[in-house]
């Protein structure tokens, strides 16, 4: 991926991520989240993970965000009012976050392997989906089937939770 | 200057920190949920970057990492469905999505 495209999409992704956190209106937060996920999908394309990028757009920017927006509409939320300022929570949260970033920077500074450029790929990168499918259905067949059971359980759980009364 | 693995890892870490700060600072349970999704996606970005970095002798990226990302996306979608159903039933019971209004179990 060319450096310009990397910086463009990475900064856009982080900017929209910040916008998710600082927006008081949940609808604005949700739309910023969509934009952030689309930039992330562009970064996946830059890493030659085309299948994952498509899944990211379909599942996250499509299904999950529609779900979020429907729930926001259903709950009829107004913008969050400004409550009394909890200074301890605000200071603690900022401190923990900055500590996390500082720790990450110091770890990555001591990781010389990561300074090498990405090794080149051979062959056509177009049969990405075929390779993912081969790996998924041969090496990771059992986890794939268990995921099917998990989705079934989630579906039943959502139906049970959404019923008005159980009897 | 070319883009290296560290750039991607740092972008992923910053995205994780943004999501983490959102979980700590925000009081609206829906926004907290969105920030959780941001953190999951940050993990996905670092996994895909490692997959591209760890090229096999045949010249292909490591697809096991991409399978893991696939599973993460699937589980996250199921988690969002269940979580939002819980939020809806919470709203029905309490008419609020503010975490400070739901503190009956708090010591």
Residue A24 tokens, joined = 């008081």
**Is A3-120 a CATH 1.20.120.1200 domain?**
yes
pLDDT of residue A10: 94
Q: Structurally, how many domains does chain B consist of? A: 1
CA neighbor of B47 nearest in space, from A138, A68, A56, A9? A56
Phi and psi of B4, rounded to 5°? Answer: -110, 180
Q: Does the residue B17 lie in any domain?
A: yes
pLDDT of residue B55: 86
For residue B61, the enclosing domain spans 5-101
Q: Where are the domains of chain A?
A: 3-120, 124-167
C-alpha–C-alpha distance, residues A13 and B92, integer Å? 34
pLDDT of residue A7: 93
Q: A105 and B70: CB-CB below 8 Å?
A: no
Which of A58, A114, A163 to mutate to test binding with chain B, by most B CBs within 10 Å of its CB? A114
Q: H-type helices in A47-114, by residue range? A: 50-55, 65-75, 87-109
Q: A18 and B18: CB-CB below 8 Å?
A: yes
Q: Does the residue B35 lie in any domain?
A: yes
Q: Considering only CB atoms, which chain A residues are within 8 Å of B66?
A: 49, 51-52, 132, 135
Q: Does the residue B47 lie in any domain?
A: yes
CA dist B73 to A51, A64, B3, B79, Å? 12, 10, 26, 10
- CATH number of the domain to which B52 belongs: 1.10.287.3510
CA neighbor of A49 nearest in space, from B32, B50, B34, B10? B50
Write out pLDDT tens, residues A42-90.
999 998 889 999 999 999 888 999 999 999 888 877 656 666 667 888 8
Handedness of CA A55, B4, A106, B65 (dihedral sign): positive
Q: CA-nearest residue of chain B to A85?
A: B25
Residue A1 tokens, joined = 């991926």
Mean pLDDT of chain B: 89
pLDDT of residue A167: 59
Q: CA-nearest residue of chain B to A151?
A: B78
Q: Does the residue B39 lie in any domain?
A: yes
Q: Does the residue B89 lie in any domain?
A: yes
Q: Does the residue B106 lie in any domain?
A: no
The SS3 call for residue B91 is helix
């Amino acid at each position: 991926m060319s450096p310009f495209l990397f910086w463009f999409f990475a900064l856009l992704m982080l900017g929209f991520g910040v916008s998710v956190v600082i927006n008081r209106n949940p609808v604005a937060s949700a739309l910023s989240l969509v934009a952030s996920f689309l930039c992330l999908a562009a970064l996946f394309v830059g890493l030659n993970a085309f299948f994952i990028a498509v899944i990211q757009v379909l599942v996250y920017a499509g299904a999950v965000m529609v779900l979020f927006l429907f729930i926001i509409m259903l709950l009829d939320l107004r913008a969050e009012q400004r409550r009394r300022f909890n200074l301890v929570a605000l200071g603690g949260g900022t401190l923990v976050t900055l500590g996390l970033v500082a720790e990450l920077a110091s770890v990555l500074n001591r990781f010389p392997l990561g300074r090498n450029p990405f090794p080149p790929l051979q062959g056509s990168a177009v049969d990405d989906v075929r390779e993912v499918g081969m790996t998924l259905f041969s090496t990771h067949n059992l986890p794939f089937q268990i995921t099917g059971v998990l989705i079934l359980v989630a579906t039943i759980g959502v139906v049970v939770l959404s019923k008005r009364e159980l009897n | 200057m070319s883009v290296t693995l560290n750039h991607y890892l740092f972008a992923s870490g910053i995205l994780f920190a943004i999501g983490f700060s959102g979980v700590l600072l925000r009081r609206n349970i829906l926004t907290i949920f969105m920030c959780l999704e941001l953190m999951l996606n940050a993990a996905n970005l670092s996994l895909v970057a490692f997959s591209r970095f760890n090229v096999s002798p045949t010249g292909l990226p490591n697809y096991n990492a991409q399978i893991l990302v696939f599973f993460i996306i699937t589980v996250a979608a199921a988690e969002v469905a269940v979580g939002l159903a819980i939020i809806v039933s919470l709203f029905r019971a309490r008419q609020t999505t503010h975490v400070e209004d739901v503190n009956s179990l708090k010591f």
